[in-house]
Amino acid sequence: MNENVKKKLLTVNNLKNKKSNLNDNNISEKIRCIDLFCGVGGLTHGLIRGGIQVIAGVDLDPQCRFAYENNNNAIFIERDVKQLRANELVDMFGDSQLRLLAGCAPCQPFSTYSQKDRRVRNDTKWELVSDFGRLVQDTQPDFVTMENVPQLLNHEVFKSFLKNLKGYEKWYGIIECVHYGIPQTRRRLVLMASRLSKVEILPPNFFKNSTVTVRQAISHLPALVAGGSDPNDPLHTASSLSELNLCRIKASRPGGTWRDWNKVLVAECHRKKSGQTYPSVYGRMEWDAPSPTMTTQCFGYGNGRFGHPEQNRAISLREAAILQTFPENYCFLAPGERVSFSKLGRFIGNAVPVRIGEIIAKSLLYTNLK
């Protein structure tokens, strides 16, 4: 860690420690968090909104720096977690009274259709979960939280991770995001651990949540055509459509499939028997239901049920971010930066929904205050 980063972290820690001394009985003022694999800050932003102070995020991708630091009062540290050592984390935490280590190791092992490719990816990608566990074991923070894909629960690497939590009270399980007011059908594995007391995620009824629909989430945004952009918000930009895909989306109904189309519009690959199992591609969302899971390709009409419920286009990048529960003013683009669908789609699709971070923070604080 270079001297400039150390000075920034010292400043952030000093400012937050001064604040914590004003109310020594408030545990939320004592906790300092470092977010591993932080990306553009979905988990960080949620933890902050839930009452936990995040001092730094660590990620290998330098392109995440602007969005992370611009939207969160935290330092972005460009670092490969595989190369990160315990003493570096200890330096980052400084004299924090209580320490939380958080993260969502990338889950690409489960994101390919190819079993052959999946085996190859497993050889390298699982190392990130293992390295998270190594850093937990070597630094012994007061709290740990991890968010990941549900499939991880049945994998050996998760069992190994749990072994690194000896001495911690633990809770882990699969949550349905729609039950927590996230306008998206998304299932995630959440783990929380504490050295102070028992810990568990708060149930959905604690937050008095109701299902949030696509209509409630994004219907207020200005209308766009395919390829169009909102002059007041460059992130509210929709990808363009070919003439064929424009015909296809015009023939699509909310919640329907390409099976509803005239046969001349159906893609050749879907006419084959092997293609019959992908009915969601080229689909429109429904206004009065949650959206499908946001992916890194959520800006593309042909990549899933990512068609706008009413307008003849795919959802915009801003709409995707809102469905991931980023606030509408979350800034992903530096001044003058051009929109890159592939880059921004990756940022948004890979992010932990902000609301999950908020639920985790409130659960940790509530169960440790009881």
**Contact (Cβ atoms closer than 8 angstroms) between residue 202 and residue 369:** no
Give the tens place of pLDDT for each residue, 237-268: 999 999 999 998 998 899 887 777 777 777 77
Question: Mean of the pLDDT values across residues 87-95?
Answer: 94
| Cβ contacts of 115 within 8 Å, gap of 6 or more | none
Residue 94 is predicted with a pLDDT of 92
Q: Does residue 249 contact residue 307 with C-beta atoms inside 8 Å?
A: yes
Residue 111 is predicted with a pLDDT of: 47
Q: Helical H runs in the chain? A: 3-21, 42-49, 65-71, 86-93, 115-139, 156-163, 214-218, 243-250, 268-271, 317-323, 341-350, 354-369
List all residues 6 or more positions away from 160 whose beta carbon is below 8 Å from its beta carbon. Answer: 130, 133
Do strands 98-103 and 143-148 pair parallel, antiparallel, or not at all (unpaired)?
Answer: parallel
Task: Say what the pTM is.
Answer: 0.88
Q: Per-residue pLDDT tens for 53-73?
A: 999 999 999 999 999 999 999
Where do we find the tokens 């969160």?
A: 72
What is the pLDDT, as a whole number, of residue 264? Answer: 79
Q: Whose CA is closest to 131, among 90, 81, 172?
A: 81
Tell me the CB-side half-sphere exposure of residue 22, using CA atoms within 13 A: 7
Q: pLDDT tens digit string along 346-364?
A: 999 999 999 999 999 999 9
**Residue 155: count of CB within 10 angstroms of its CB:** 17
The CATH number fitting domain 3-211+353-369, selected from 3.40.50.150, 3.40.47.10, 3.30.540.10, 2.160.10.10:
3.40.50.150
**Distance (Å, rounded) from C-alpha 10 to C-alpha 75?**
11
What is the predicted pLDDT for the residue at 119? Answer: 44
d(CA 305, CA 310): 13
Residue indicated by tokens 């946001």: 294
Phi, psi of 284 (to 5 degrees): -95, 145
Distance CA 240, CA 349 (A): 19
Residue 277: Cβ within 10 Å count? 8
Cα–Cα distance between 13 and 29 in angstroms, integer?
Answer: 11
How many percent of the chain have pLDDT more than 70? 84
Average pLDDT, rounded, for the chain: 87
Asked about 104 being catalytic, the answer comes back as no
Instruction: Show me where the domains of the chain are located.
Output: 3-211+353-369, 214-350
Residue 325: C-alpha distances to residues 167, 237, 265, 270 (Å): 34, 18, 34, 33
- Mode of pairing for the β-strands spanning 53-59 and 31-36: parallel
Q: Which of 107, 177, 247, 331 is catalytic?
A: 107
CATH architecture of 214-350: Alpha-Beta Complex (3.90)
Closest CA to 81 of 142, 39, 141: 39
